[in-house]
Structure formats: C-alpha cells, structure tokens
Amino acid sequence: MDILELESFLPYRLYRLADAVSREFSKVYKDRHGLTRPEWRTLSGLGQRGTMTATALGEQSAMHKTKVSRAVAELERRRWLVRTPDEDDRRVEHLTLTKAGLAAYREMVPLAKAFERELLAKLSVGERGSIARGLAALESGLTSDKNGP
Amino acid sequence: MDILELESFLPYRLYRLADAVSREFSKVYKDRHGLTRPEWRTLSGLGQRGTMTATALGEQSAMHKTKVSRAVAELERRRWLVRTPDEDDRRVEHLTLTKAGLAAYREMVPLAKAFERELLAKLSVGERGSIARGLAALESGLTSDKNGP
DNA sequence: TTTCGATGGCTACAAATGAAACCAGTTTGG
DNA sequence: CCAAACTGGTTTCATTTGTAGCCATCGAAA
C-alpha cells in the first residue's frame, strides 16, 4: 500500500521549519514591544522604505489587506506612524514612521540581524549556500505561476 | 543608518514560502474533502503509522494539543477514525482510521505526491539537492537547541 | 496507603485571521 | 457628462488559533 511520509513531505517540512523559526523570532518583537507579526512587518517595511501606502506594504510583506489595515491602525494608535493623504488620489494614504516608530525600528534591526546570524551560525558555509539557492529556486518557481489566465 | 531588508530576511522568506506552498496545497484537501490542515495532518499521520495516540500525533505532525484534539474530534464525527482506550493507562486513547478514513487517505496520497512532484519539477537537479540539504541543515540546527536547561 | 506532582486529553475564553461586503473616491466608455 | 466598473482602505462576521485552566488518571515518594 502506498503511504506518504509526512516528515519528508516538502510542504510539511517547509511549514514546520518556518513556523518554528518564526515563532522563535516572534519572541524578540513580542517580548520587547508587544508587537504582533503583522505589526512587526509593517514597522520593518516602513523602516526600510521610508514611506509606503498600505497596498504597497501588503505587497512587500505578503500580507492580506486586512492584516495591513489592522497593523497600521495599531501602530498609529501607538503614535509610531502617521498617515498623510495623497495629493492627487484621495483614497491613498502615505504612511511614515514617527520618531518613536523609527526609534523602535532602529532598536529592532540589530536584534533581527543577530537572530538571523545565530540561525545561520550553526550551518557550514556550504549549507548556507544550499539554503540560499534552494529557497531562491522554490520562490521563483512559485511566483512565476501565480498569475493565472 | 542601518536597515533590514525584509525580502531577504530568512525568517520572513521561509514563512512566506511555506505559507504560499501550504496555502496552495491546502486547496487539494479542502476542495476534495473539506479538510482543515490539522485534519489533513491527522489523517496523514494515522494513515502512515496505522495507530497513534493524540500526543504522538501532536509530536509527529508538530501540532498543538488543542489542534490535535479538535481535528480528531472532527474526524471521529465523520467516522473516519475510532478511539480505542488503552488497556493499561486509561488516560490514553489509540486512534485508528476506519475503512472510510483509510479510503480518504488512499485517495489523498497520490494527490499529495503529485503536488510535491510538480513543485520540484520546476527546479534543476542541483536545486533540488540544495533545498534538501539546506532544509535538513536548518532543521537539525533548530531541533538541537529546543531542549533548554 | 495517601498524597503530590506529572501527563493525556478536553474545553472555555480571548485573540488573530480570512472572506465578503462596504464606503469613498477614481477611471473609463458610451 | 454620467453610469458602470475598479481601487484603496476599513469593517463585520464567522472561523481558526492559542492560552490557560480543567478533569481524570497515573507514578513516585513518603
């Protein structure tokens, strides 16, 4: 009889790994600032790009509109970002971190980098290369057929 | 100023990839049988191993107890599995797929394998090897320090 | 034994998520 | 010019998830 070995099934392995890593990293921003993942991604996106619209944020960080909307609302409530209406299109808002938001971002960046470094530190150089190539390959394999007919 | 490039941040990349793949694959078991992911994993685990306790299922498929509990309850409601109390320890229940459950499992296995095959089909042999090695390396890097002092 | 800490499994409540509907505002085609 | 289709963003509601606490049972230690 034909069976499936869950432990070596790629979707499962990927998910489990990502879940473990993400859960571990979430401690960093949760413990430090009580952020949720969508909030962290929003902070990160704005810190990186300077100013973005909600839609752009959603695309960059692969989040559903509603996640973005709620994350932005919360960061605004904390006064970590401000919205400035677009001149030409009144539906659009440009989001920018405030001083406080930027401070939080600046504090998070080294922690994030350290986390990633530690994660990779356990691997050999060859292994690091393997992940880089493997992930890139899978990523491009996926995104290319996202656009259906 | 120091910034973090979200798009190349490993935890983010992993999560996004896993999420996309998992979401795509979930269509298979959702469309076919209206299963949730925990339910699918439960089915898969039992199909693979024959008989397991809820705790064992949780460990094998990396699911929280409550997810397991609820998934098992649902599969039992569908009469896809039965519980048999352990002889020695009356807290423990052994879970086994019924004929119906097994039929569903048998139907799913080829679909799962086909999905994985297609996912990998877009990659070169070298790239496939890279993922295999990369994932394995990260996995062992993680599990080894899960056991804190 | 009795008692006390673990363990298997469930449930109740709170928080996070997704789908779909919605509201403005904008574009397009007649 | 105006209706219809579309887009940015929010809200509502149902579903899913996690946390914490519960219950029953078990094992060990007194």
Query: What are the tens digits of pLDDT across the range B37-51?
Result: 999 999 999 999 999
Distance from CA of B92 to the nearest CA of A (A): 23
Residue B50 DSSP class:
S
Band (A145; pLDDT cuts 50, 70, 90) = very low
**A131 in Cβ contact with B132 (< 8 Å):** no
- Strand ranges (E), chain A: 51-52, 81-85, 93-97
Query: Tokens 């298979």 sit at which residue?
Result: B28
CB contact (8 A) between residue B9 and residue A116: yes
What count of other Cβ atoms lies within 10 Å of the Cβ of residue A126? 11
Contacts of A7 in chain B (CB under 8 A): 60
Chain A touched by B103 (CB under 8 Å) = no
Task: List, for residues A19-52, the tens digit of each pLDDT value.
Answer: 999 999 999 999 999 999 999 999 999 999 999 9
Q: From residue B17, give the alpha-carbon distance in Å to each of A18, A32, B86.
A: 8, 26, 40
Weakly modelled stretches of chain B, pLDDT under 50: 144-149
Q: Is the pLDDT of residue A149 over 80?
A: no
What does the radius of gyration of chain A's CA atoms come to, in whole angstroms? 18
CA distance A48 to B12: 14
The Å distance, CA of B103 to C1' of D12, is 39
Q: What is the pLDDT of residue B132?
A: 95
The answer to whether the Cβ–Cβ distance between A120 and B13 falls below 8 Å is no
Residues of B in contact with A130 (CB under 8 A): 129-131, 133-134, 137
Is B30 near chain A, with CB under 8 Å? no
B65 touches strand C (CB under 7 A): yes
Q: Identify the bridge partners of residue A95 per DSSP, sorted by sequence position.
A: A52, A83
Return chain A residues 13..52 having CB < 7 Å to nucleic acid strand D: none
Q: Judge whether residue B51 contacts strand C, using its CB and a 7 Å cut-off.
A: no
As ranges, strand D nucleotides with an atom below 7 A of a protein CB are 7-12, 16-20, 24-27
Q: Collapsing DSSP states into helix, strand and coil, what is residue A98?
A: coil
Residue A146 predicted with pLDDT over 60 = no
**Which of residues 61 to 100 on A have a Cβ less than 7 angstroms from any strand C atom?**
64-67, 70, 88-91
Q: Write phi, then psi, for A47 (nearest 5 degrees).
A: -60, -35
The 8-class DSSP code of residue B51 comes to: E
Annotation: CATH topology of B6-115: Arc Repressor Mutant, subunit A (1.10.10)
Q: Is B6 on the interface with A (CB under 8 A)?
A: yes
Within 8 A by CB and 6+ apart from B29, the residues are B35, B37, B39, B40, B108, B111
Looking at domain A6-119, its CATH architecture is: Orthogonal Bundle (1.10)
DSSP B31: H
- C-beta atoms of B123 and A115 within 8 A: no
Statement: residue A142 has pLDDT above 90: no
Average pLDDT over residues A52-73: 97
Element (H, E) at B96: strand B93-97
What pLDDT is stored for residue B149 in this prediction? 27
pLDDT tens-digit map of A72-128: 999 999 999 999 999 999 999 999 999 999 999 999 999 999 999 999 999 999 999
Distance CA A19, CA B37 (A): 14
Q: Are B121 and A10 in contact (CB under 8 A)?
A: no
